[in-house]
Structure 1
């Protein structure tokens, strides 16, 4: 997000990293054509040509296809692990379609399906509904409430123990937590991953906003005091996906007031609140009037990463996602009905 300071300087700041069930790679592959068409109809042909090409569905599928190839069985399938009631199914379908173009079969299963028909054979291959699974692609299971019973946890353990390639495996899943993001921002930590590359470290660190621990002890106590003194300057983040889970303003005072003396506060981190400059635009939403609004945008970058042991096989940027919402909303994503899918316009 573009962060504008009081001295009018601005810079791009990182909000979070998602390592599981990153959404809208499929749908954002179609939005460039939508906006090009709208601009052409409006008589703005030159502007229509400034919409960037974007096809993350193909790039994400390329990563899944590479994992499927490394697994080494043409009969094996890519399994989409999906929710009981799937509101975002069309986003998945674009990626599925890209896999089928490569003659890679896919199946869609819920936790309950895998519990009933899934098993490991003697070689720990994952068999679901009689089919060998080469890749488990998680589009569910990213939050504790997704595990509605002990059977769901048993299924996750079975999949983790299997030889199927996981997108992501549990260690990569946990690497996307807010606590890891906060620890990476500590002095000296990035240097461990980029030894003798101070310029790279500085480039990465320049995208970090302030991230503060709420661990028990003097440092965490200082963070609590800082947040309670100026709650409007911060965001309180639990170890969850961002949309709909973050805490702002007076709610920070309420939540921290209840847990400040308890180890429960360690379930959160504190982050500086980013202040993007609003722009005027139209938000097309169901059951909402089409009027000019003050809008804020957030740019996401999709990456496809495949490793085999310690060998990095693939590490590519495969597209982008722009989400725009009204400036009156502090939190909330596209699925929550607050933000809309958008496109950058090069000027």
Structure 2
């Protein structure tokens, strides 16, 4: 049998946005209606506008031109199928382009202080004449003062060796539509902590105390006390206890054993020593780090120097920049 005749096109529906802003583009779509009740999108419909000075069309895209007042515009679609032509229209409004709110101010957001060696990232919000705000990333950042530096993303890093508290000024600059605004923020740089004398000798977070400066083997006992002075509830440290023997051998004490005496390792000049306390907060604390009753005869005679060295957690103990405060030490002389 011959194929069925095509279903006749009986109508056309055009759909566009109801509003288009001067200088912008929108898309319209045309839908054919058929005698059997079906509908199909027709991409080959031809669009035209009632006033070419107000808008132009290319395919299904309508582009509004600049208008001085809000202007109605009629869009017409025409489509032919199997010798049948149908048309449809749509009325939309071409609106005056709203004035862009002018940049009025710039505001820096972020922490008021940065600890020595730490980094804080700052942001800047543009404030407009209509009261609106918008975060901006295209900011030019600079810093006034030698105690910190800042990168292109607003990350401010305080100098790791800054010894005293000081202040720097963080500067931001932003330009939009020919208008430039700047902002400043004072940032306190917290210097490295040098705590007050804890006990014994040395100005530090820690100290070593040996009350008896001369002890005899087989007769006297040796007790070495220490104290810790807290200054930061969040910062963590590695705490080292080291001893220089009379023959200049350097040993590092480890945490006490079940019997209360610390273990130790002899430093070989190459390996990284183990800390007495690792990755720990330094509370206000005191105690005994070394205790030996009736010194054995085989113990070397001479001067033993004990050191307490708090170091920023995970940092190289042999790099003095990683120490917190100054070296604490005390000595004892062992005799026959």
| TM bracket, shorter-chain basis | under 0.3
Higher strand share: 2
TM-score of the aligned structures, taking structure 1 as reference length: 0.20
Higher helix share: 1
TM-score of the aligned structures, taking structure 2 as reference length: 0.20
Q: Give the structure with higher Rg (CA).
A: 2
